[in-house]
Structure formats: structure tokens, C-alpha cells
Amino acid sequence: MIHQNRRKELLSQIDDNAVVVISTNPEQFRNGDVTFPFRPHSDFFYLTGFQEPQAVAVISRNTYTMFLRDKDPDREIWDGERLGLADAPEILKLEKALNINLLEDHLAQLITAENVVYFDEKPCDFDRMLSSLLSSYTIKSLQDPLHEMRLIKDEFEMSTMQKAANISMVAHVLAMQYVAPNMFEYELQSVFDAHFVKNNAVHAYTPIVAGGKNACILHYIENNKPLKDGDLVLIDAGCEFDNYASDITRTFPVNGRFSTAQKQIYQIVLEAQLAAIDSIKPGASVHKPHEIASNIIQQGLESLGLLASGESLSTFYMHGTGHWLGMDVHDVGKYQHNQQHRKFEEGMVITVEPGIYIRKDDKINPIYHDIGIRIEDDVLVTNAGNTVLTEQLAKTIDEIETLMSED
């Protein structure tokens, strides 16, 4: 019913004579004849709920047809059971199920010359072929109406994202309690690997486990260096559960105790994050959290003498304060309308993740060298303001040190 309602809503927002043609992701080879675990394209799954490869959905006001693989007992011995053509109409609520091998022969029968076709080509051979089949029709992008829909989460999506957040929060707690000096970053990552698998989840993105100076590399993913006594470790890791992502960052001391300099920088980031979260509510500008966080970080670094008054903040804080979150970790949806920052609406989910990154520099007091700190939570916009989906995870200095001291 969820996917039926989404298709109905989409059709209500596009041309009366529209036909939507949408394919799922292709399977991706890792090396040789080994493929990566399959994950459906988010737009395709959002409208269909179907999780097998090699599928194309054709959606109009008159019919809902899917081209998909048929049953194949020989291949199913090797690759697993397929839904097949006979069961697909009932399970997927289709009017018609056709073999994917008949796509070239039958696609044109579902589209008339008068139809406007909503279709977005993905960078893969299959979609290039599909685009060629549709070349004689008037094509419009599906992204604008569909991605606006995806930006506003329904109750099912909110619940699923909370489950993903819950799984990820536990993993972060386990990591704080497991870490020890001289452990390798990949050993700490293994906590997340195991806990996610244990809960039928996967990584929503390549995790960052960055000790010491590595935390000053924003997308550090090598995760293969030793964690040194006295350093901080920044972990940016979140699971994907039932195709919905979580995204959490915590930074904590490898030995369980923050140094004075680490506390000073950490507290600035924490205050910036809390104030940014507090600004999120319906009607507020989506740029407001970044403005607030940047101002607090600027003032904090100036007070420590790390920035001169009015000096650019970009040396120490060079990224935005958040991004949409949903089926994709950097989820779809525009941040501006008519060259103006859009307003928050109930049902949006955004991350809030300010940070400070201080590399070695002769101009900077050495006690601050190689301190990289980011704190990130997932925030749902509600009618009353907001709900932090990751609220229960420790993030104050006292909370973290207490948690890490527990047996």
C-alpha cells in the first residue's frame, strides 16, 4: 500500500498524459566474476518496493507494468530464488508482469506518441540502451517531482530511520567501550561491522575511523593506522536498515580522557552543534544551522587565539553543517528554491555535523596540533520543532568519559 500511494501521488503531480519509466541499479562487478551485494536504486525501490536486479517499471494512469526476470531453476540454484512473472502481479500490485528479455519488443506498446515520458538515465549500459528506446518521445526528468516527494518522510520512513539510528547508536557505544591505545583503526571498525551484520543492517557508507591527525582528513577511509595514547579518534559511521540510512559521528579520546586542549576544541564544536539543532523547525531557513554553527566556532577559535578577529574560518571548518538524510546518506532534495534557501518542513530529516580540524602549523600552539573533532546527529523536523533521532548517544565530555570508564 505504501508504494501504491507513492505512485498515485507522483502521477498526481506530473502531466496527465505522462508515463514514468524507471529502472533499478545494475549489478556491479567487484573483480573477476564476483559482484558486490546488490542494492536497488533508491528511486526505483521508493516507487516499487522491488529489490531484484534487472527490472524496469512503467507507470501511468492506465497501467502499472514491470519487466523483470522470470523464474529460472538452474540459475536459482546458484544465485537464489527469484520472484518470477507468475507471482509478481499479486506481490507487487502490478497490472502486468513481462520478461525483462522482452523489453525492447514490448516497451513501445505501453507508450503512445502523445505520452510525455518521465525518465532519468543512469550512467550504465542498460540505461543507455533504455534511453535509446525512448529517444522518439518527449522526455522530462523524473527527479524534480520524485525527489521532492522523497524529501518529506512518511511515518513508515521515520520509523525505519529510527531503527537504523538505534542500531548505529549501540555500535558507537560499543566502540567507545572497546577502544584502547595501540589498537588499529580497523579493529575499532570491526565493532561496527559485527553489530550491523548482527542486526541485519549494512554500512550506509564507507566508515571513517580516524585517529589523531587522520581526523583532519574529512573523507579518511583507509582505517589502517594505530590509535595512539593521548589522541582522539573520530568515527563517522552509520548503518543502512531496510534501505534507509543513519549517519552519526562521535569523537572521543583513545585513552578515555580528554586533554585540556581537546576539551576546549570539543566544547566549541558541541555548543555549535546544540545551537544549530535548536534552530531547526518548520519555517526556518535550511541555511540557519550553518550560520549559527559557523558563528559559534568563529567566536570560539578567536577566544583561544587560533583565529584573528574577522579571519576566515575555512582554515579550520571547511564543510557545510548538514545534508538531507533518507534512502541515500546524502539524500535527494534541493536546498534552494528560486535562488533562495528553502524553509524546513515537517518530515524532513537533516544531519547536523559541525567540526574543527587543526593541522600542524608553526603559527598554532602545538597543544592544538592534529585535533580533528566532528559531532553529527540525525534530526527530524516535526510540527513542534524537531526530534533528534540519535539523541540517546553520549556526546558531552562528561557523558563520554563516564561511558568509557564503565566496565
- CA-CA distances (angstroms) from residue 153 to 1, 42, 145, 380? 16, 14, 14, 9
In sequence order, what DSSP letters do the residues of 50-81 get, joined into one string?
---SS-EEEEESS-EEEEEPPP-HHHHHHH--
Catalytic residue among 330, 361, 391, 399: 330
DSSP 257: -
Cβ contacts of 13 within 8 Å, gap of 6 or more: 145, 149
Distance CA 276, CA 189 (A): 29
Catalytic residue among 127, 157, 231, 236: 236
Catalytic residue among 157, 185, 328, 353: 353
Active site residue 247: yes
Catalytic residue among 16, 33, 74, 90: 33
Catalytic residue among 127, 231, 247, 328: 247
The grid coordinates listed for 58 are 512503467
Catalytic residue among 39, 323, 341, 369: 323
**What is the spatial order of strands in the sheet that 232-236 belongs to?**
208-211, 232-236, 249-253
Q: One-letter amino acid identity for 1?
A: M
Active site residue 16: no
The grid coordinates listed for 36 are 558486490
Catalytic residue among 319, 341, 342, 359: 319
Active site residue 121: no
Active site residue 319: yes
Catalytic residue among 82, 374, 377, 378: 374
- Rounded to 5 degrees, φ, ψ at 345 are -130, 150
Active site residue 203: no
Catalytic residue among 157, 231, 370, 376: 376
139 bridge partner residues: 117
Q: SS3 of 255, please? A: coil
Active site residue 219: yes
Active site residue 323: yes
Q: How many residues does the chain have?
A: 407
Active site residue 9: no
Active site residue 52: no
Q: According to the 3-state scheme, what is the secondary structure of 281-347? A: CCCCECCHHHHHHHHHHHHHHHHCCCCCCCCCHHHCCCCCCCCECCCCCCCCCCCEECCEECECCCC
Distance CA 111, CA 125 (A): 22
Q: SS3 of 134, please? A: coil
Parallel, antiparallel, or unpaired for β 336-337 and 249-253?
unpaired
**Residue numbers annotated as active site:** 33, 219, 236, 247, 319, 323, 330, 353, 357, 374, 376
